[in-house]
Amino acid sequence: MIKIGITGQSGFIGQHLYNTLGLYPQEFERIEFKRSYFEDQQALTNFVAQCDVIVHLAAVNRHNDPNQIYNTNINLVTKLIDALNYTNSKAHVLFSSSSQEGLDNLYGKSKKEGREMLEQWAGATDAKLSGMLIPNVFGPFGQPYYNSFVATFCHQLTHNAQPVILNDSLVKLIYVGDVVNQILLLIRAGKESTQQAVFATEEKKVSEVLELLETYKTQYLMQGIIPALNSNFELNLFNTFRGYIDHGTHYPVAYTKHTDERGAFVEIIRLNAGGQVSFSTTVPGITRGNHYHTRKIERFAVIKGKALIQLRKIGGTEVLNFYLDGNSPAYVDMPIWFTHNIKNIGEEELLTNFWINEFYDPNDPDTYFETV
């Protein structure tokens, strides 16, 4: 069992890494970290003493005063090294640096010098250090106007604002899930102090990204159409976009129900992507689901009976409740990293139509069980 602590656990990359480690309870034990530890020497020392691996993600990357960025980031590294030395720790430290190391700005300088300080510590103590050069990271739950222009654009497009491109440059991008996967590879491999990992990237113009996001807004948010997703990058960007929708007000989405003397007709889903369609019947009082996905797109459409669909973000406590009735057909889409379920709350059989964007693979189900 590898004991892993994450400074910056509640940050963008930190929460994704923390939640992903939780998928491997037989391999990893998560050591809790709080922001206040950097202001409490004893708490930081106790944290460091427990860890076999420390992933140092805590940093400031935006501030009105660039000197504050530099001073804060260097101070965090200094405090971490002091705690490592005090505990005689031989932990494998993974340091999150940036592709901005080579640029002439104080954020890049703080990252480069912080990495060099940890390299000196590792060399003097025969410990392990993996430096990670990470480009622009995007994904669900990133802070708009802080973590990434992708986060800002997604927030604006889902909240009736129009993004503005200030510099249509080529940008190196990486999905947060891919960052986490590469961190896990480094942890499992136990890289030596000379190792420096340069993470794989996509390279896109800002206008290319915005064009895709605007397509997702038009087709998905406004028309309910699942757009064509022609690569893993587009799938990840679409799932990122979905993460910025206000689920509590957007769902459930009502269908158009056509009726005549023969009965009724309801169009369930329009697809520019493939996938798998299925249905279930559920007897009164029974709950299905209580699981979540990390990549799949899924739609629940209630077409007969009464149902309660519930969503809760992994790591959160707020539960979103959606009441659906087959007499007024509607759907709810399942965002990634939200555990969800569906319960028959009526007195008759519940009939639900399910669509998911990929075929079910028992060897790679992307389904993790957790009660809402």
Superfamily of domain 251-369: Jelly Rolls (2.60.120.10)
Tell me what pLDDT residue 367 has.
96
Point out which residues pair with 83 in neighbouring strands: none
Tokens representing 86?
Answer: 């005090």
Amino acid letter for position 258: H
Report yes or no: 349 and 305 within 8 Å, Cβ to Cβ.
Answer: yes
Amino acid letter for position 248: G
Q: Using one digit for the tens of pLDDT, what is the confidence trace for 182-237? A: 999 999 987 555 556 777 789 999 999 999 999 999 999 999 999 999 999 999 99
Amino acid letter for position 255: Y
79 burial type by CB count under 10 A (0-12 exposed, 13-18 middle, 19+ buried): middle
The Cα–Cα gap between 78 and 289 comes to 46
The Cα–Cα gap between 271 and 181 comes to 30
The Cα–Cα gap between 231 and 286 comes to 38
Statement: 2-139+171-203 belongs to CATH 3.40.50.720: yes
Please name which of 97, 93, 95 lies closest in space to residue 107, comparing C-alpha atoms.
97
Tokens representing 197?
Answer: 């990992």
Sheet with 276-282, edge to edge strand ranges: 253-254, 330-334, 298-304, 350-356, 276-282
Report yes or no: 116 and 152 within 8 Å, Cβ to Cβ.
Answer: no
* Residue 225: C-alpha distances to residues 162, 217, 267, 293 (Å): 21, 10, 11, 20
User: What residue ranges in 8-156 does DSSP mark as E strands?
Assistant: 28-31, 53-56, 92-98, 128-134, 136-138
DSSP state of 222: I
- What are the residue ranges in the chain where pLDDT is below 50? none
Tell me what pLDDT residue 196 has.
67
Whole-model pTM? Answer: 0.93
> Where are the domains positioned within the chain?
2-139+171-203, 251-369
Q: Using one digit for the tens of pLDDT, what is the confidence trace for 290-312? A: 999 999 999 999 999 999 999 99
Tell me what pLDDT residue 192 has.
57
